[in-house]
Amino acid sequence: MPVQGERVYRLNDGRGLCVLIQPNGAKWWRFRYRWQGREQMLSMGTCPDTPLIEARKQRDTARQQVAQGINPAADRQQKRNVIDRSFEGVAKHWLAGIRQLVLAGKRSMDTYDKAKSQLETYVLPFLGREDVSSIRT
């Protein structure tokens, strides 16, 4: 095993769970498994933010998925990519961007409040549930 601080190394916990230790001291829980003949790694969080017991629970869940023929990494990615394609969902995402600009000091809170009010009053009651791809000018 390499000396800490020189390069990335790992300490195994068992049943595929290990902790990767970065040269800067950062520690990441990883689940190592084989999918279609290739080794894969799935992140389980960072130490100490994710306690060992939680990392082990996540590992057990991922092991069950592999046993059922489900790739846990692909399953996680698919769940993350579920996007609300309604006009209301896109509008909320846009408003969140405006909110971030307000927090960064690049826009005023009045700008956010006005945009939110106008959307809620004039647009969302009519187009809120529509899929954005079906809306025409």
CB 30, CB 73: distance < 8 Å: no
Q: What is the pLDDT of residue 76?
A: 87
Give yes or no: residues 37 and 74 share one domain. Answer: yes
Q: Would you say residue 2 lies in a domain?
A: no
Q: How do residues 63-105 score in pLDDT, each as one tens digit?
A: 999 999 999 998 888 887 666 788 998 899 899 999 999 988 9
The mean per-residue pLDDT over the stretch 30-45 comes to 93
* Measured distance CA(12)–CA(21) in Å, rounded: 11
Average pLDDT, the chain: 89
Answer whether residue 108 is part of any domain.
yes
C-alpha to C-alpha distance for 113 and 95, rounded to whole angstroms: 10
pLDDT at 123 over 60: yes
Domain limit, last residue, from 54, 80, 106 = 80
Q: Both 27 and 47 in a single domain? A: yes
Is there a single domain that holds both residue 91 and residue 76? no
129: helix, coil or strand? coil
Residues 6+ apart with CB under 8 A from 94: none
| Domain range for 50 | 9-80
Domain boundary at 42, 65, 80, which? 80
Query: What's the predicted TM-score (pTM) here?
Result: 0.56
Domain identity same for 15 and 69? yes
Q: How many domains does the chain have?
A: 2
Say whether both 71 and 28 belong to one domain: yes
